[in-house]
Amino acid sequence: MFRNLSPGAIGISANLVESLELAKSAGFEGLDLPMGEAMQLAEEKGADYVKELYANAGLRMGGWGLPVDWRADEPRFQEQLKSLPKYAELAQKLGCFRVPTWVLPFSDHLPFKENFEWHVSRFRPIAEILKDYGCWLGLEFIGPATLRRGRKYEFIYTLPGMLELADAIGTGNVGLLLDSWHWYTSGGTIEQITSTPAEKVVYVHINDAPAGVPVDEQIDNVRCLPGETGVIDLKGFLQALKQIGYDGPVTPEPFSKRVNEMPAMEAAKTTGEALLKVWREAGV
């Protein structure tokens, strides 16, 4: 696995060339692929140009965001689905095969069973297209109890639950976006990770939680840099990923107001240093 930067996750707005420089200077080993910009560059200069940008920076490609609004109404969903093959084809040429998205842990309209079936119906055609190009879909469960309170119907919010959905989709190329925050707030365990096949972990987010807040009172968008508080067992989390043989990106997503207000380079370096510290403590 490798330390990966997603600029938007720490409040940075930058183009690909700028982001590569930030990631390299801050000591990261990889950078997420901004697929829209990469597509434009590939159309203008060829896919090899995009590959060379990463190679020249000495960085690996992390993942790319799913360019389909799978929550939209049926006509819009079907229309966007038509464009997915061209993105997946470029991803295949570039060697960037990890495609994460997230799933709400509740519904105010559909009971669990109907909601489960609806998600299968939306993700299966997406996963089938991605599979044609060797890509994997990573589904993120959202853990905090505070997000489910007052909602009519609960939905999946745990690692085992999301694996059940991935298996039900049935294409063989669907797994997890595993986020340390959601793993912690969902009551996750090390054993849950060590019993998960490596290929089922598509992408990883890492962060810490504020101290002095009970786990069931944690608020989703109030987090901390990796290792900032020690509330989440990130050493165990990373060691468990190493144990199963996960070889993909590990991306900080601290949702930190302090970091978001820093200049871009300071934000990248502060985040990179925090991640490197827990990386070394975990011995990975």
Q: What is the pLDDT of residue 172?
A: 97
Nearest-angstrom CA–CA distance, 182 and 232 = 10
* Closest-CA residue to 143 (of 80, 64, 232): 232
Q: Which residues does residue 153 pair with via DSSP β-bridges, in sequence order?
A: 107
CB environment 37-52: b (16+ within 10 A), e (fewer): ebbebbeeeebeebbe
Torsion from C-alpha of 188, 235, 210, 213, nearest 10 degrees: 50
CATH classification at residue 233: 3.20.20.150
Q: Give the integer Cα–Cα distance in Å for 259 and 273.
A: 13
pLDDT in tens, the chain (284 residues): 999 999 999 999 999 999 999 999 999 999 999 999 999 999 999 999 999 999 999 999 999 999 999 999 999 999 999 999 999 999 999 999 999 999 999 999 999 999 999 999 999 999 999 999 999 999 999 999 999 999 999 999 999 999 999 999 999 999 999 999 999 999 999 999 999 999 999 999 999 999 999 999 999 999 999 999 999 999 999 999 999 999 999 999 999 999 999 999 999 999 999 999 999 999 99
Closest alpha carbon to 247 in 193, 190, 178, 201? 201
Distance (Å, whole) CA 264 – CA 270: 10
Sequence letter at residue 181: W
Counting the structural domains of the chain, the total is: 1
SS3 label, residue 4: strand
Residue 264, domain extent: 2-282
Query: Which residues on adjacent β-strands are paired with residue 137?
Result: 99, 174
* Class of residue 284 by CB neighbours under 10 A (exposed 0-12, middle 13-18, buried 19+): middle
Query: Could you tell me which of 139, 188, 184 has the C-alpha nearest to residue 164?
Result: 139
**What residues pair up with 2 in beta bridges, in sequence order?**
249
Q: One-letter amino acid identity for 99?
A: V
pTM of the model: 0.96
71-97 burial code (b ≥16 CB/10 A, e <16): eeeeeebeebbeebeebbbbbbebebb
5, 23 Cβ separation under 8 angstroms: yes
Pick the closest to residue 193 from 206, 168, 176, 171 (CA basis): 176
Q: Does residue 235 come out as left (phi exceeding 0), alpha (psi in the -120 to 50 range) or beta? A: alpha
